[in-house]
Amino acid sequence: MINQQTAIYRILDANLDRAREGLRIIEEWCRFGLNEKEMATTCKEMRQELASWHSSELRTARDTPNDVGTDVTHPQETERENLPDLLQANLCRVQEALRVLEEYAKLYDVEFAAAMKQMRYQVYTLESQLFGQSRLQLLVKSSLYLVTSPVDNFFNVVESALKGGLKLVQYRHKDQDDLIKLKEAYKLKQLCNNYNALFIVNDRIDIALAVNADGVHLGQTDCPVGLARQILGTGKIIGKSTTNPQEMAKAISDGADYIGVGPVYETPTKAGKKATGLEYIRYAQSNATIPWFAIGGIDSNNIRDVIKAGATKVAVVRAIMAAENPTEETKNLLKNF
């Protein structure tokens, strides 16, 4: 039987390695994937701090040949579906290792334990920053935004659009029971993950939280942007619908990450809402300081007019949801940018 002290040393040694390995994986993406120097530096500094606690006393307790856990694995560890899953898995790995270090270090060195506790909080912050940065970068790169509407073969239509290159989906289903909304949102979130696309929920912050959506889109009569930010945190995207310069200015000052500009043309999606026309597009082109999407009745017949007026990003509903071939229609719309 291994004595207690040796066992504790081995636990500390293994989890110091585990935390450093996970941080290195995160650091590499921050450095090479995001070109984010500050986050990469944070990862490096945490790795160096962990190394400073990794004493020879702990290292010499290592006994890899007799470690009964070296061949224990789980199917989920053998593959990752996409980049977000890879990053999330390694962040969880680091957080779990730091928690183990914090607890067992209380039996070894209380200063060590306190340092691990503070580092665990740092990793939580890093997680929010990392996913927030990745989401915002993808938002900025996205020129086409699909807002869903109820149709036959709903999921097939959305996936077909994703196959066509779509990178931003908003789930909107006003007249549906909450349980069905939750199930549909969850399935759409999985689809978007599979295609490395952003998933936004219309109006419902609770559903966005429940399915870990990338953010929420708010109307003028929905929850204020500031309150939504308090609930969702800094790592999530918050969009806001605007129909005039005053609403635009308020959305920007309130801290929205992007805005909808429209409706450009009259649309049944916003029944009774007066069209803003191309003049508001021209205003947004000159005055908006955050990403913005022209929206409202836009399709392949008028998208060139909207782009000529100054739009570089467009949101559509029926153009894709009602298309005979959503994949080809998505490709055709994207060719305009």
Tell me the catalytic residues. 172, 241, 270
Query: Dihedral sign, CA of 43, 47, 48, 50?
Result: positive
DSSP secondary structure code for residue 148 in this structure: P
User: Which two structure tokens, joined as six digits, stand for 234?
Assistant: 């800094």
CA distance 122 to 110: 19
Residue 258's SS3 state is strand
Residue 89's SS3 state is helix
Which of 308, 290, 205 lies closest to 252 in space, CA to CA? 290
Q: Are the C-beta atoms of 101 and 12 separated by less than 8 Å? A: yes
Peptide bond into 150 cis (omega under 30): no
Which residues have C-beta within 8 Å of that of residue 265, sequence separation ≥ 6?
A: 275, 277, 296, 297, 298, 302
